[in-house]
């Protein structure tokens, strides 16, 4: 409890995903100064990010500025940067801002909600050819690849190359893989037919690959079977009990040596903790699980460090799944627990996760839902999916515009977001032929070069920098 005259308690929240967002919101009336540090300027509604990749929603409809989320929360500030290290002894975190500028932020209580990265199961080289779908950048890049594949197939003269361009391989048959496969199939069968003259988009081959014995393994077997049947009706080729052994620029290889030639490959199988988890474990002596996630106490604190909490995908407790509801409930629990501590009230009960069930959409008007003994499929499941996701979207413009986009995509055939820039498509403006002085007429003055200061600093390749020393790093008070 804070005594009169004592400095206000400082709470640092690392990450503005579901866990960080709900933890910080629960602290809005706490007698504390809250600092939210996030690597991007927006919070992503990840369950709908596949709809950005398939042209249903725009990035702005699933991404909300972090500052907008906390605009009315007067005890909260937002800082942009990737947290790269934690000093548990001196209670500071080190972050790196755009441009590589490091800074430090002191804390009294730390909430780590940094999320996880995609796991390639030791084959990190696959990432260059089969990107994941975790961020807005990933979604926009994938959208451009999907749409550009059809454009390149229209130009191809070799039937084998045309077939490769019209083949889409998705590795991982969890909710993201299933939803993505269904939407690519709908693009091929509903949106694009009639727009091309040399190809039939409906001939596209969508291959969904998973090492498990069925798709959606976290769902009831009946729900998995219903989703599989619907995908097959859409023309999706389901390959279960199948392991990917190699990925390169021209396709994927599965066990047995079978080669699937494809330009567009997506990886949605498995997650692993990012480098921050290893830094935190080293700083606190905490144990990690096989995925590198931090093993926490029942109150979500790091063992031996009651001032450090880990929530969401980065925590390991009772084999809880890495789903949004675990992050939402864990973040809210930690925020309320800290508030009770600061006001001198009892800590309360350990964290208890209330499993609300699983839900995944398969295609328009078709979804599967397992809700504590109740199983819904088809249109009933889809209507439930629509209501749940609409309710969790931020209020205001996101909800209104998403309904309009869903109506256009699901009631009609259009995809509101199909623009692909020349840079995304890999198109460069043609180099002009040299012109002689006589052809050009009077010489044109050579323009003055633009300095680096005028143009702004170049954006560095994102890396996980080594933590700087205290003498090198400015500390934000």
| Active-site residue set | 179
HSE value, Cβ hemisphere, 13 Å, CA-based, for 268: 29
450-464 burial string, b = 16+ CB within 10 Å, else e?
eeeeeeeeeeeeeee
371 burial via Cβ count (<10 Å: 0-12, 13-18, 19+): middle
274's CB contacts (< 8 A; 6+ apart) are 114, 115, 116, 117, 314
Contact 310, 334 (CB under 8 A): no
Contact between 162 and 258 (Cβ < 8 Å): no
Are 80 and 87 in contact, with CB atoms under 8 Å apart?
Answer: no
Residues 6+ apart with CB under 8 A from 309: 23, 109, 110, 111, 112, 296, 300, 301, 302, 334, 338
Residue 97 tokens, joined = 């801002």
C-alpha distances out from residue 350 to 289, 295, 299, 312, 336, Å: 21, 15, 5, 16, 12
3-state secondary structure of 425: helix
Give one word for 86, left, alpha or beta, with left for phi > 0 and alpha for psi -120 to 50. Answer: beta
Place of tokens 């640092």: 12
- 233 in Cβ contact with 185 (< 8 Å): no
Give the H/E segment covering residue 137: helix 136-155
| C-alpha to C-alpha distance for 190 and 183, rounded to whole angstroms | 10
Tokens 């969401």 correspond to what residue?
312
Strand (E) or helix (H) holding 77: strand 76-80
DSSP code, position 127: G
Structure tokens, 199: 């190809």
């Amino acid at each position: 409890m804070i005594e009169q005259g004592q400095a206000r308690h400082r709470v640092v929240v690392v990450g503005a995903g579901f866990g960080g967002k709900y933890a910080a919101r629960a602290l809005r009336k706490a007698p504390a100064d809250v600092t939210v540090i996030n690597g991007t300027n927006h919070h992503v509604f990840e369950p709908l990010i596949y709809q950005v990749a398939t042209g249903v929603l725009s990035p702005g409809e699933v991404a909300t500025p972090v500052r907008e989320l906390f605009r009315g929360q007067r005890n909260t500030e937002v800082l942009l940067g990737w947290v790269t290290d934690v000093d548990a002894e001196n209670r500071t975190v080190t972050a790196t801002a755009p441009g590589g500028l490091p800074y430090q932020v002191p804390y009294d209580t730390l909430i780590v909600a940094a999320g996880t990265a995609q796991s390639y199961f030791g084959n990190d080289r696959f990432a260059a050819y089969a990107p994941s779908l975790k961020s807005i950048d990933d979604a926009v890049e994938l959208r451009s690849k999907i749409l550009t594949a059809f454009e390149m197939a229209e130009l191809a003269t070799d039937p084998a190359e045309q077939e490769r361009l019209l083949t889409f391989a998705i590795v991982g048959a969890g909710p993201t893989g299933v939803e993505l496969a269904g939407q690519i199939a709908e693009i091929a069968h509903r949106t694009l037919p009639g727009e091309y003259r040399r190809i039939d988009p409906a001939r596209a081959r969508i291959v969904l690959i998973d090492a498990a014995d069925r798709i959606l393994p976290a769902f009831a077997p009946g729900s998995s079977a219903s989703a599989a049947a619907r995908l097959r009706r859409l023309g999706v080729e389901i390959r279960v009990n199948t392991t990917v052994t190699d990925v390169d620029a021209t396709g994927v290889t599965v066990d047995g040596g079978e080669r699937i030639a494809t330009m567009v490959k997506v990886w949605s199988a498995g997650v692993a903790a990012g480098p921050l988890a290893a830094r935190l474990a080293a700083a606190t002596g905490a144990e990690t699980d096989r995925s590198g996630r931090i093993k926490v106490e029942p109150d979500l604190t790091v063992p031996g460090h009651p001032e450090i909490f880990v929530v969401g995908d980065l925590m390991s407790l009772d084999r809880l799944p890495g789903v949004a509801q675990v992050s939402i409930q864990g973040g809210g629990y930690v925020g309320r627990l800290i508030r009770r501590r600061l006001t001198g009230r009892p800590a309360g009960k350990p964290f208890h996760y209330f499993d609300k069930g699983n839900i995944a959409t398969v295609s328009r008007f078709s979804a599967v839902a397992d809700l504590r003994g109740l199983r819904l499929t088809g249109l009933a499941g889809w209507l439930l999916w629509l209501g749940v996701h609409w309710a969790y979207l931020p209020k205001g413009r996101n909800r209104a515009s998403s309904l309009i986009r869903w109506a256009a995509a699901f009631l009609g055939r259009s995809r509101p977001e199909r623009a692909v820039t020349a840079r995304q498509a890999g198109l460069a403006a043609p180099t002009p032929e040299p012109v002689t002085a006589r052809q050009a007429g009077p010489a044109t003055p050579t323009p003055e070069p633009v300095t680096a200061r005028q143009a702004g600093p170049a954006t560095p390749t994102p890396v996980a920098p080594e933590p700087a020393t205290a003498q090198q790093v400015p500390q934000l008070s």
